[in-house]
Amino acid sequence: MKRLVKYMALACIALGLAACVQDLNTEPIDPNSSTSFNQDRMFTKCYSCMAVIGQSSPGEDSDVEDMDAGMSGFYRTIWYCNDLTTDEAFWIWDDAESRGLPTTNWTGTSDMIRGIYTRLNLNIKYCNHYLTYAGSSTDEEKYRLAEVRWIRAFHYYYLMDLFYYAPLVTTESNEYPHFVPRHKLYEWLVAELEEIIPLLPATRINKYRVGKAAAQLLLARIYLNADVYNKDNKDWASGQTWDKALTAATAVINENPQHALVVDSVVTDSGFVYSAYQRLFMGDNDRDDVIKESVFSIYQDGLYTQSHAGGKFLIAGPRYGGMNAWGIEEEWHALRTSPTMVDKFLAPLGIDRDGAAAMIYDEFQMSKQLKDDRAILCSYGLNTTDHKNFNLKGTMSVGSNEYFYESWGGCKFTGVYSTAALPKLSPRQNPGWPDTDIPMLRLAEAYMIQAEAMFRKGDKTGALDIINNVIRKRANADPLPELDEETLLDEWSREFWFEGRRRMDLIRFGRFFGKEANNHRYHWEGRYGKADLPPAVNSPWFVVKEEEFMNWFPVPSEDKRSNPNYKKDVEGDTENIYAGQGGDGYAY
């Protein structure tokens, strides 16, 4: 990988770790430099690299060079790749990434793909630096070593999920890294997570550090998607990890009483109600009675983790003046829900597009109308200047604010506190930046993995029971009468929409790219710039794409050209069916 590391000052954040949040006057930290190793600061860096873009938040001094700093952060790059490429969202700004990802026009020179590839490998480099030099004489030091190993594994999970080949480096080195196919990375990840589960604290040391539940849940996710990662492994038999996924997910639930689903709503002094589900994505979602559902959250703080690449883009992105208070002052009117995502909430009630066009409600009324607390959607245009309403039947036109009004607003994330009654703004620290933490792993996922593993094993009754009596019950949604593949996939979307994981679920269900996906005729309304309405099979604009390599992203072209190991490890791999096609199906 091209070395993009800079000599930098560590931006400490309030993680409850050894480093003080106000202490920004630290020595330079660069895993390639000869600067003396500071164990406390480097431990903090391994966590903080997921929360901020670099060293001078929210400035332009990103750890990742040569791309828009506000887009270069860990979470935003993941979110763009996993949600903007799917049926859930559009970003209407007129930049290359906002156009390329929703319309499946990504290449090895795409900034966002290069950004996530670089960010993941750079953060792994920080972890390897810590693991090379950190002590292990006390229980605290041993826990820290296990936590950093988990952080490294979490990053390698995303490399495996996003790329067909990826570098695997587990020791500190300045040499060109070697590449391994994703099924080899799968084998390493499974072994690594199984080894560190007993080394992690049984109960996390504080709310922003990970305990064993994080390793168990990540392992369950990997087992659930194992057939995807091993598709080209000639020794692999499909379906062999359903039992393991079920066992790992069950362990998360049964062995970690400190984690529990949030089931209690909040009633403010004025009588305004925030549902249990809504509280997971609010400005005070760090409250003990809320963060208990989060197995791992990325810390966000309006004073100390200011970044356009954290939770802010999910809060400011969908908002426009006149809408209900969202807890910060910025409005970007850029992020849209797609009509096909809204359909997920209409279908259980038998509401079609014509019926939905008459539903003009804000996000609080809408969840009641759709009988699902997760439908935090706004169809009412509250802008007092233009007097426009959102319209479900809008077309996709990236780069035009006009079309922002032709969709329902996704108001799931907010900077408002659950102790604040609308329309007042929340009691926040900074009017420009949210305090809303980003829930990366939630306990609800363990229940959904349980349900899907049961479904795959033939126990549809048990799977439906979990979905109806755990997931949908918490959302105050009516029980589903039956469960099939499409309904199960829709439930994943209803529970986790806009949380940066949709692409993974579509691929697992065979709905993304390749011949299997074409057989299902699954489509993303408007992703090709046309207003194609269901059924897709009758749409003149639906483009059949059989390229299975679109199920992953290309290794950035500059890495293919500059790393001599790429040709040897990837293009020289005799078992690589894409060896003659750029190594991963994409041209240089």
Per residue in 174-187, pLDDT (tens digit) is: 899 999 999 999 99
Whether pLDDT at 507 is above 80: yes
Cα three-residue angle 400-404-407, rounded to 5 degrees: 135
Q: Report which of residues 163 and 27 the model is more confident about.
A: 163
Parent domain of 173: 1-184
Whether pLDDT at 121 is above 80: yes
pLDDT band at 103 (very low <50, low <70, confident <90, very high): confident
Per residue in 250-272, pLDDT (tens digit) is: 999 999 999 999 999 999 877 88
Say if 37 falls within a structural domain: yes
Per residue in 326-382, pLDDT (tens digit) is: 999 899 988 888 888 999 999 999 998 788 888 889 999 999 999 999 999 998 865
Taking the alpha carbons of 10, 16, 19, 22 in that order, is the dihedral positive or negative?
A: positive
Say if 490 falls within a structural domain: no
* CATH code (residue 22): 1.25.40.390
Instruction: Say how many CA atoms lie within 13 Å of 35 toward its Cβ.
Output: 18
Quick one: 565 exposed, middle or buried, by C-beta within 10 A (0-12, 13-18, 19+)? middle
Say if 236 falls within a structural domain: no
Q: Are 569 and 148 in contact (CB under 8 A)?
A: no
Whether pLDDT at 581 is above 80: yes
Say if 130 falls within a structural domain: yes
* CA–CA dist 312, 319 (Å, integer): 11
Q: Are 207 and 286 in contact (CB under 8 A)?
A: yes
Say if 366 falls within a structural domain: no
Q: Are 230 and 189 in contact (CB under 8 A)?
A: no
State how many domains the chain has.
Answer: 1
Q: Which residues contact 214 (CB under 8 A, 6 or more apart)?
A: 150, 154, 200, 204, 295, 296, 441
Say if 548 falls within a structural domain: no
